[in-house]
Structure 1
Amino acid sequence: MEKVRNPVVAGTFYPSNPEKLKNLLKSFFGDSFKVNTEKLIPPMGAIVPHAGYIYSGETAAKAYKKVFEKGIAKRVFLLGPNHTGLGSKISVFTSGSWKTPLGTINVDGKTAGKILKELDIYNDESAHSREHSLEVQLPFLQYAIGNDFEIVPICMMDQSLETSKNLGEILADIIEEGDLIIASSDMNHYESHEKTLLKDEKVIETLKNMNLQEMYDTIRRYNISMCGYGPVAALLSIGFTDIEIIDHTTSGLISGDYEAVVGYLSAIVSNLQK
């Protein structure tokens, strides 16, 4: 029997009703959004948030719009942090499909298996059972390009620089035309709007410099609670040389609570050098 990963945050992070979900996504993408129906050549990457859509959906959609105005992805690598503590230090979902209210997307089992073999680690897929950071990306993809693409979901509990760079280097040998790599991360958590923007900007400067060691040092030095720095480091280890910061905001702009916010960033990376 085929393995199916059912949605676990539909109805909380985003609407479980397909029409309501489509309408919400349409409000994010806008009436003028048009997909370039050519294949995405060369490959690209994006950094996007993973909070409830009411808070971070518009920020995420801005990155997806930029990508899909350039072409359609046929395979999407989803890199996200492990919030639950379940599973192995890196967990690769190796077969089957993922469901959302907008339909079913197949996993590229052959590629997932190849990555797992290269990582040479014990794999426990329970990391994906309750994790939201990858699931919430799927409706954006489905709204823009339908369900005719495959995914490779990778959940990272071990976000050390060494592990992240190793994953990025493995992906660099696999990436080809038509691929999109998503690094899912929120930025600083539960401090004031002003402090969060300042802390986030320190990280953003290191991203602009493509300096991973500086990013890790900055996160430690300033106690920045960015949750997906490992996925971002893996993305930037693949070989992209250009980064464009698309949007940077906080939950306070929506909630009106400026004392305890979460920061959200969207960016795209391009110009892959292999």
Structure 2
Amino acid sequence: MIRRPAVAGSFYEDDAEELRRRISWCFTHNVGPGFFPRIFEGGPTNLYVVPHAGYIYSGPVAAHVYAELAARNSPQLVVILGPNHTGLGSYVSVYPNGEWETPLGRVEVDNEAVIRLAHESEVMDLDERAHLYEHSIEVQLPFLQFIFGSSFKIVPIVISMQTPEVAEYISEGILRLMKLKEDNVVVLASTDLNHYDPHDETLKKDELALDKILSLDYRGLYSVVEEMGVTMCGYGPTMVVMRIAKKLGKKARLLKHATSGDTSGDKNSVVGYSAVKFSD
């Protein structure tokens, strides 16, 4: 089973060489890290929050995560958690098997890890419907392929029921998987922050969410989204990564915070983006 790209040609370029140039642009942009990623064998930093909008908007912020990831080690497995923008599929949908295709090639789904995770998390269904048109996971793959080629496998998870309780179930399953595979599992929470307010208002609302993320208060993040009008789309995936980090004794560090106004120049109605890593 091959999952064809749904947003190539819109969120990112559908030609391989043009896409590589776009990703290079993300790394060298003044909002980006300012350098190309270089792979080192450093200590593991396995947990990140990364944005998922069109590359011309959020790509430079996302590049901070991938520059950091490249400086650690080559992952064996990348678990990518995204919100459900389409409403299709189950409450928590893990893509069952096969490959995901982008203009840079194909990436294999780790079917063994999928089955184990679905069994141990108790809330996941093996379901490809939620993934058919969902962009939040797809847009992460070209960055990973740009750096690591096809040397890794993925577990794609789409979450529509974004509650602390569901996040706890999912995080427990991922923790068991990480223990089994030791240091070779990377977990990405794919999310954008506040949507479509003016730049200054978005920065203020983003700070409310980031304060909870950086303090690993995943229930506090849920309250901010539900009660303070912060229109963060992937708070469920983010709560999963925050709880994993808390259980492992990690600390959060903000790599970059910006808005689409910082990359597009239009600050009247923007979306907020953050790059966060969780490490010792």
Alignment match, 1:192: 198
Cα drift, residue 28 of structure 1: 2.0
TM-score by length of 1: 0.93
Per-residue Cα deviation, 1:13-59 (whole angstroms, up to 9, x for no partner): 00000000001111222484343353x74351110100000000000
1:91 corresponds to 2:93: yes
Q: Secondary structure at the match of 2:135?
A: coil
User: Is 1:156–2:159 an aligned residue pair?
Assistant: yes
Structure 1 segment 1-274 matched on structure 2, within 5 A: 3-30=1-28, 32-38=35-41, 41-121=43-123, 122-175=125-178, 176-238=182-244, 239-240=247-248, 241-271=250-280
Instruction: Give yes or no for contact 1:36–1:70 (8 Å, CA) kept in 2.
Output: yes
Distance in 1, Cα, partners of 2:263 & 2:27: 18
Any idea what SS the aligned residue of 2:186 has?
Answer: strand
Task: Report the CA distance between 1:213 and its aligned residue.
Answer: 1.5
> Are the aligned partners of 1:41 and 1:178 in contact in 2 as well (CA < 8 Å)?
no
CA distance in 1 between counterparts of 2:37 and 2:202 reads: 33
Q: List runs of 5+ in structure 2 lacking aligned partners.
A: 29-33
- Percent of counterpart pairs with the same letter? 39
TM-align CA RMSD = 1.5
CA distance in 1 between counterparts of 2:120 and 2:185 reads 19
Letter in 1 for 2:117: I
In 2, Cα distance between the equivalents of 1:218 and 1:134?
24
Gaps of 5+ in 1: none
| TM-score scaled by length of structure 2 | 0.92
Aligned counterparts of 1:260 and 1:34: Cα–Cα separation in 2: 31
- Give runs of ≥4 in structure 1 deviating > 4 Å: none
2: CA distance between counterparts of 1:130 and 1:193?
Answer: 29
Is the 8 Å Cα contact of residues 55 and 254 (structure 1) preserved in structure 2? yes
Q: Report Cα offsets for 1:65-107 as digits up to 9, x if no partner.
A: 0111121112100000000000000000121010000001000
